[in-house]
Structure 1
Amino acid sequence: MESLRKVARTETSSRLRWVLNIFVISLYWGYSEGFIGGFDWPTPEPDLGIDECHDEFTIACANASMVYSDSYDLCELNANETIIHLEVDVELERLQIELASGAVCGNMRICDTLVDDLEYFKCINENGTRNLDILTEISYNASRSYTRLHEDYDAVQRTFLLCSLDAQKNYMEDLREAHRELTQCRSEIDELSE
């Protein structure tokens, strides 16, 4: 009987050593799935998971940069188109001023053709009064156009700055969200590997 117990203990300890050896060897070699006594060992792959986290982060950053670039380009395009419309609007005003100033010069040249001094001074007097009215109108129109155009350019500049600031804010928020997702992804990988 005693010898049966010794044999049983020897077999049990041999089996236990065999199971422990298999367990240690599977841990040592890092098998992705070891089967010991019906138990599947999970294999965390932190390097691959972390690479995927960083790949997603890189893609998110690239997308954020593209969106920012497109948004900034749109701000610039809108500003440029608005300036073109402003310049088209003032072309007529500019043409009117150029025609009026040409009329002033023409009025003075008409007098230059007169030989008689009395007729010359009379022409200058009459045309000078007419030219004074034209020059007053030119001055008024030019001041008004300058003031309005200056305000319009300032408004375009303000709109462009606000638009580009919104684009920058959205870009920074997108980058912050990408970083938050990277941190969360890495934390989840770390938890799985523990």
Structure 2
Amino acid sequence: MEAQHRFGRPETNCRLYSVLTIFLITFCLGYSETVTSKGFDWMTPEPDQTLDECHDEFTIACANASAVFAESYDHCELNANETIVNLEVDVELERLQIELGSSEVCGNLQLCDTLVDDLEYFKCINEKGTRNLDILTEITYNSTSAYTRLHEDYDEVHRTFLLCSLNAQTKYMEDIRQAHRELTQCRSEIDELSV
């Protein structure tokens, strides 16, 4: 009896090891797509991402690129508007000077219009006319100068805005291209692993 117990244990252990070996082989074969003559063809490991996740990341990258572009464009517009507001202060001063000059010219002519005597009227127009001519010459000079400077300033603001918005558009397009490259790479990796 002792002999049977002594020999029975190794046999039981052997069976246990055989069962474990068969289980492991079966377990490993479960991951194999096919058994080839060269050995096991192990199942390709699952990719880190799925196609849906690739497209989700692409969508998020596109949304981020759009948000950055919108913020950059708003920044360009804000800078342009602030620059124009600063220009308007100078414009108001120029307008005020011109309006004061034109009021003086009109006031001089109205003063002469109050005179009844013809001799006094013509004398007033002659005297005030010379002064009015000086004022109108100054108004013409100031308005032409202001127009030229303002036109140049607006052109500069417009040029700066265009360059700023162009940079924002270029960055946006590069971000979208990068997102598309990453999507293509992600899809390629999944395709390679699933072959």
- The TM-score bracket by the shorter chain reads 0.7 to 0.9
Partner Cα separation in structure 1 for residue 85 and residue 167 of structure 2: 23
Number of residue-to-residue matches in the alignment: 167
Match of 2:107 in 1: 106
1:36-79 Cα deviation digits (max 9, x unpaired): xxx98555268x52111111111100000000000111111111
Task: State the one-letter code of the partner of 1:108.
Answer: L
Alignment partner of 1:44 is 2:42: no
Where do residues 22-171 of structure 1 align in structure 2 (5 Å cutoff)? 26=30, 43-44=45-46, 49-171=50-172
Corresponding letter in the other structure for 1:190: D
CA distance in structure 2 between the partners assigned to 1:81 and 1:45 by the alignment? 52
With normalisation by structure 1, the TM-score equals 0.78
1:4 alignment counterpart: none
User: Which structure 2 residue ranges, 5 or more long, are not aligned?
Assistant: 1-21, 34-40
Unaligned regions of 5+ residues in structure 1, if any? Answer: 1-17, 31-38
CA distance in 1 between counterparts of 2:47 and 2:189 reads: 12
**Structure 2 length as normaliser, TM-score?**
0.77
User: Could you tell me how far 1:190 is from its partner in structure 2?
Assistant: 1.8
Q: Deviations over 1:138-174 (max 9, x none)?
A: 0000000000000100111111111111111000000
Q: Aligned equivalents of 1:192 and 1:40: distance in 2? A: 12
Could you tell me which amino acid in structure 2 is paired with residue 148 of structure 1? Answer: R
Look up the match of 1:182.
183
Give the residue type in structure 1 aligned to 2:74: D
